[in-house]
Structure 1
Amino acid sequence: MRVPEGVTAPPGCVCKLKKSLYGLKQASRQWFARLLEELQSQGFVQSKNDYSLFLKHENDDITIAAVYVDDIILTGSNEATIASLKQHLHSTFSIKDLGLLHFFLGIEISKTSEGYVLTQRKLTTELLDGCSLDITKPAITPFPLNFKLAADDSPAYHDPEFYRCYVGKLNFVTHTRPDLAFAVQSLSQFMHKPCVSHVQALTHTLRYLNHTTGQGILLKASPQLTLQAFSDSDWAACPTTRTSVTGYVLLLGNSPISWKSKKQSTISKSSSEAEYRAMAQAASEVTWMVRLLEELGVSSLKLVVLHCDNQSALHIAKNPIFHERTKHIEVDGHFTRDKVLTGLLQLSYLPTTQQLADIFTKILPSIQHKTLSSKLGMVHSLPSLRGGVGI
């Protein structure tokens, strides 16, 4: 860094910054520390489960501030507290109040008679408009049925940066598109060396995205909030490493609030073991989500029902005894069993045809894919106007 023009400093001396500057390594940390100080001065407490979340409880009222760098969402049951915080932040930082929330971090929020619809239409349109691939032909599923990707199964693609760029953008789209989660995690495995076949698979996914641009998730109002989880796995799904794929989704009421599709880190010796490991991943997410929702004032969530379609895995988790076929599983794999014993989880069997997490572990026939997407609360929405709150 050079001394600004007009400022003279004696030889051997440096200038001391009295405030952080944009572009420095410490700038973002210093900004967050400054914002934290101001929020705490107004009586807000930093969440222990999400450090970007701040809460203020006053009698029966609650005020919530969700922070992402210099963008803030404010909500709560006390309008006077929200107005007071806005005034304080404006006098300190000179904020811009964008009114009711309509647009935040690329996510468009639309209010309907049933609840709130979250979409990424604008981001999706911009992604597709700049694409040089032929995506005009519509596709009804993210991947073709029974499609498998493998490393080095075709010649290397001539422009790997193009592949990495678009797969990275698709990762952001999955924030409101759970139906894309499995396809995107499959494409993400070949970022280091994309081949022609991987780009062909990417083209198919973009054709599906182009055909379903306005889809998003519906956060539906419910008279009684309950938390339930669905976990599933596809045993030895990877043709190269023979590792399995974990998929889970958490529903608050009838609305999806957390989901994941991820390849397991170790090889499972049986389908039961793969399902057992998937249950452990879902149980970990449930544990964190229950603590976070309790901070937000949503109580009485226990027992959380965890649905699984494998009877053997359920038997292993429900019975805290030594099993010959599971003695090799690491301690962390028995996390589900521990949460069952402590009274957080209740395990439940359901048929594979009703398993919502099935869409996160494999490519399904078009009818089943559409059915599960609908059960996950996915809807088609109209374009929304830009809005939000920012500093």
Structure 2
Amino acid sequence: MVTVKCLLVIAAIKGWHLIELDVNNAFLHGKLKDEIYVSLSPGFGEKEDTRSKVDYSLFTRSQGSSFIALLVYVDDILIASNDTATVHPLKVFLDHQFKLKDLGSLKNFLGLEVARSSKGISLSQRKYTLEILSDTGYLGCKPVKTPMEQDVKLSRTDGVPLEDAKVYRRLVGRLLYLTITRLDITFDVHILSQFMDSPRQPHLHAAYQVLQYLKSAPGQGLFFLANSSLNLSAFTDFDWAGCQDTRRSLTGFCIFLGNSLVSWKSKNQAIVSRSPAEAEYRAMAITVCELVWLSSLLSGLQLPPTVVSLYCDSKFAIHIASNLVFHERTKHIEIDCHFVCDKIQYGFLQTFQVSSKNQLADCFTNALGLPLFSIMMSKLSLIEIHAPA
């Protein structure tokens, strides 16, 4: 889904044409009794076609000034190109091979509703959200302003176990797919997904509050500005020992391509961090891994590499990332230190000052149409930071 968002952002900025195709009879109704081996279509094996090394479902072709990108997910195909003349021969070839339905300009892809204007591209899951509210009986509920109370601490041992855990699991599973465009519920759904094995009454009550929050704005989503740069920037933060059961720290990051939000995550760290500085630095390392992957993906979409901006609120983490000085307090995170330091030395990563909190709020306002990014980054307290020389 990050690949889809990046492709839409580039198309919005560069004015590429977006076309959707659908394969007829992708699934046979009969049961297969023999082993089936599938090979790549010969048309994509030619030299002028390039398969992305970081996302095998992405194919690109460049011929002179013409560029075309083809993204495949099972039987759904998305084509982006700056030259419509090159798209028609490709559609004819694919139709000859697979029998396709040409759905025209992109309107809906994998349940994502796409609307385009001269200002940019809007991405939402309004229909999917209304279906969730209708199936759970919350279509007429009273909306609330926040998906989860800020002081709520859910645990595996609090409350009475649910008699039917399937109701909770199905609801959280559907909410997980909704986080593709609703990052304002990502943190809360991440918390709820930790109790899938043995859900309890407080967990279900918290999930229902998320539904009440969705009722307030079911069509909320992302907006990719057409007037924007194509530079990568990222914000990262952590919650030290935030998990009530394991005391693992929570990593959160948001990555922008220009002014458009394309990737975010809220996840527990793999190990227990012994200090806030360690937790912050591990959050930086996880964010840098995502930035490296995104940089490789964008290079295949004809975007030249640029220096990436990374923002965090820990002076200690910034210092050890920019200086090759290690001591006893940092030797247990030395591997992550070397990884981030290498990216800074090679010129891939650079840190900058944050002028004010309003700068971050403006970014989310442009990306989401929200007055402020509320829950996931509500505890983010950005301060003046600068990498030591």
TM-score range, shorter chain: 0.7 to 0.9
Residue 331 of structure 1: aligned partner: 335
Q: CA deviation at 1:46?
A: 1.0
Q: CA shift at 1:37, angstroms? A: 3.0
AA aligned to 1:315 is H
Correspondence 1:318 to 2:319: no
C-alpha distance in structure 2 between counterparts of 1:258 and 1:28, whole Å: 36
Once residues 228 and 67 of structure 2 are traced to their aligned partners in structure 1, the CA distance between those partners, rounded to angstroms, is: 19
| Structure ranking higher on relative contact order (CA contacts 8 Å, 6+ apart) | 1
Bigger drift between 148-157 and 128-137 goes to 128-137
1:378 corresponds in structure 2 to 368
Structure 1's 151 and 330: CA in aligned 2 closer, same or farther, altered over 3 A?
A: farther
Figure out how many residues of one structure are paired with residues of the other and give that number. 343
Contact 1:42 1:85 (C-alpha < 8 Å) held by counterparts = no
Which of 244, 251, 255 aligns to 2:249? It is 244
What residue is the counterpart of 1:13 in the other structure? none
* Residue 336 to residue 222, structure 1, CA distance change in 2 (3 Å): farther
Where 1:322 maps in the other structure, the secondary structure is: coil
Q: Show the counterpart of 1:208.
A: 213
Aligned to 2:286: 281
Letter in 2 for 1:119: S
Instruction: Go from structure 1 to structure 2 and tell me whether the alpha carbon gap of 1:64 and 1:134 turns closer, same or farther (over 3 Å shift).
Output: closer
The alignment's C-alpha RMSD in Å is 2.4
> Once the two structures are superposed, what CA deviation does each residue of 1:225-280 show, in whole Å capped at 9, x if it has no partner?
21111111111111221111101111111000111111111111111111100100
**Partner residue of 1:350?**
354
Aligned partner (choices 71, 79, 102) of residue 76 of structure 2: 71
Asked whether the equivalents of residues 309 and 352 of structure 1 are also in contact (C-alpha less than 8 Å), the reply is no
Q: Please name the residue that 1:364 is paired with.
A: none
Moved more, 285-294 or 216-225: 216-225
Q: Mark the CA change 1:89 to 1:28 in structure 2 (over 3 Å): closer, same or farther.
A: farther
Q: What is the Cα deviation at residue 355 of structure 1?
A: 8.5
Alignment of 1:39-50 (within 5 A): 39-41=44-46, 43-50=48-55
Query: Does 1:302 find its partner at 2:306?
Result: yes
- Residue 143 of structure 1: SS of its match in structure 2? coil
1:107 partnered with 2:112: yes
Q: Distance in 2 between matches of 1:242 and 1:173?
A: 27
Q: SS where residue 332 of structure 2 aligns?
A: coil
- Counterparts of 2:158 and 2:266 in 1: how far apart (Å)? 23
Q: Distance in 1 between matches of 2:150 and 2:346?
A: 41
Q: How far off its partner does 1:332 sit?
A: 3.8
Whole-angstrom distance in 1 between the partners of 2:33 and 2:336? 36
Q: Which moved more, 1:228-237 or 1:342-351?
A: 342-351
Q: Is the 8 A contact 2:222 2:368 kept in 1?
A: yes
Q: What pairs up with 1:148-227 in 2 under 5 angstroms?
A: 148-227=153-232
Q: Contact conserved, 2:66 with 2:86, CA < 8 A, in 1?
A: no
| Residues 286-339 of structure 1, C-alpha deviations (whole Å, 9 max, x = no match) | 11111111110111x421110111111111111111132111125245422221
2:130 alignment partner AA: T
Q: Secondary structure at the match of 1:96?
A: strand
Output the amino acid matched with 2:129: T
Partners in 2 of 1:348 and 1:28 — Cα distance? 53
CA drift of 1:113 comes to 3.0
Please, which runs of 5 or more residues in structure 2 have no aligned partner? 1-26, 371-389
Out of 265, 268, 271, the position equivalent to 1:266 is: 271
Q: Is the counterpart of residue 253 in structure 1 residue 258 in structure 2? A: yes
Higher alpha-carbon Rg: 1
CA distance in 1, matches of 2:47, 2:99: 17
Q: Distance in 2 between matches of 1:212 and 1:97?
A: 32
Give the TM-score normalised by structure 2.
0.82
Of 111, 116, 126, the match for 1:121:
126
TM-score by length of 1: 0.82
SS of equivalent to 2:352: strand
* Deviation (angstroms), 1:349: 4.7
Q: Distance in 2 between matches of 1:238 and 1:176?
A: 25
Matched residues in 2 for 1:308 and 1:106: separation? 34
Determine the C-alpha separation between the residues in 2 that align with 1:25 and 1:114.
52
Maintained 8 Å contact 1:230/1:355: no
> Matches of 1:27 and 1:177 in 2, distance apart?
40
Q: Which amino acid aligns with 1:231?
A: T
| Partner AA of 2:95 in structure 1 | H
CA apart distance, 1:25: 9.1
Alpha-carbon distance between aligned partners in 2 of 1:218 and 1:304, rounded to the nearest angstrom: 22
Shift of 1:39: 3.0
**Counterpart among 94, 97, 103 of residue 89 in structure 1:** 94
Counterpart position of 2:14: none
